């Protein structure tokens, strides 16, 4: 019973904030335009500041774990390859790019950090996990969406490559992580005034981001292209976790590291999948369906995975 209570305490508050966002939307306090602006604000300001604050105040030399970073990178690479192989069984080639992307690309930054913060009180090992996985997420998203673009022969576009690589280099989350790492490595002091300001700004990231996500949630879209959406959702929430979590445990990863790996593998598909798919000539229906389904179902699957890990005394 203690393990179940631990799991519910970790996940339920996160998803209650999303439900609160839905209620605010219904009440007219948060419309879709405001939710979109709120999402962008969280991505550009509070979330990078939160990551900066978590990293700048710790000893980087003690925090860095090469084995952990390599495992996260390797698991991400294998997951992308596996999703690409499974997409071969789809009859409709035009949705293969979307299928691959939504099957591997997690909401590691927003939902992941929210869950880890709720369990441990800080971002834990999430920044290192993001360093290992998010750049690869973005680069491979361009590859698969370009290669399987509807009406395209599979030729890569150099302009799109340059735009995406520039986007990765200027990504606010990556910049927040790099800034925090440099601050820690240079052992720069953190004055009390600056520390309090960073803490106040960073504390807005989780509640605002989750409410904005809930306000933008559309149940009707979850039923578009249902069969491939269900298949991709199963792969995203259960399939990769089943493969890599036992391996991670066997390699000795525990506590914050194992939870970060769980979030990387089994959290909901990020909303960025839909934005990128639409901007690269895809219909976007499959992407939005999987985002909706995984966001809804991850409340149960992540709770279940946390319960199993807790029972096995791994976290």
**What pLDDT, in 10s, does the model give residues 27-79?**
999 888 898 888 788 878 888 888 788 778 777 667 778 899 999 999 999 99
> What's the domain range around 276?
2-311
CA 226 to chain CA mean position, Å: 22
CB-side neighbour CA atoms (13 Å) of 292: 20
| Residue the block writes with tokens 């298949």 | 231
- Dihedral over Cα of 53, 48, 168, 237: its sign: positive
Q: What is the CA radius of gyration of the chain?
A: 19
User: For position 144, what pLDDT does the model report?
Assistant: 86
Q: Residue 294's pLDDT is what?
A: 86
On whether the CB atoms of residues 264 and 78 are closer than 8 A, the answer is no
pLDDT score at 124:
63
CA distance 261 to 108: 10
pTM: 0.74
**What is the domain-level CATH number for residue 266?**
1.20.1530.20
DSSP per residue over 285-307, as a string?
A: HHHHHHHHHHHHHHHHHHHHHHH
pLDDT of residue 12: 74
Residue 189: CB partners within 8 Å, gap ≥ 6?
none
Number of domains in the chain: 1
Residues of the chain with pLDDT under 70: 1-8, 10-11, 60-61, 109-112, 121-125, 151-157, 160, 163-164, 167-168, 221-224
């Amino acid at each position: 019973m203690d393990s179940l209570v631990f799991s519910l305490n970790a996940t339920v508050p996160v998803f209650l904030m999303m439900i609160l966002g839905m209620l605010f939307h219904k009440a007219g306090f948060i419309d879709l335009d405001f939710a979109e602006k709120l999402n962008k604000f969280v991505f550009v300001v509070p979330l990078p500041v939160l990551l900066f604050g978590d990293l700048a105040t710790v000893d980087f030399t003690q925090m860095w774990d090469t084995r952990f970073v390599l495992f996260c990178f390797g698991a991400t690479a294998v997951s992308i390859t596996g999703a690409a192989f499974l997409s071969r069984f789809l009859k409709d080639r035009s949705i293969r790019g979307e299928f691959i992307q939504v099957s591997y690309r997690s909401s590691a930054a927003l939902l992941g950090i929210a869950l880890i913060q709720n369990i441990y009180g800080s971002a834990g090992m999430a920044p290192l996990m993001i360093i290992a996985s998010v750049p690869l997420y973005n680069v491979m998203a361009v590859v698969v969406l370009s290669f399987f673009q509807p009406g395209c022969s599979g030729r890569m576009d150099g302009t799109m490559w340059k735009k995406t690589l520039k986007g990765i280099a200027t990504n606010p989350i990556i910049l927040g992580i790099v800034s925090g790492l440099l601050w820690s490595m240079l052992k720069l002091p953190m004055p009390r005034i600056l520390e309090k300001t960073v803490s106040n700004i960073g504390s807005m990231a989780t509640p605002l981001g989750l409410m904005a996500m809930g306000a933008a949630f559309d149940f009707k879209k979850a039923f578009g292209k249902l069969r491939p959406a269900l298949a991709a959702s199963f792969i995203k929430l259960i399939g990769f976790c089943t493969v890599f979590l036992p391996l991670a445990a066997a390699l000795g990863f525990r506590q914050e590291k194992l939870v970060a790996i769980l979030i990387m593998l089994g959290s909901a598909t990020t909303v960025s999948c839909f934005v990128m798919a639409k901007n690269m000539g895809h219909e976007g229906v499959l992407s939005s369906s999987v985002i909706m389904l995984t966001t809804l179902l991850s409340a149960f699957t992540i709770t279940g995975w946390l319960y199993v890990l807790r029972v096995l005394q791994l976290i």
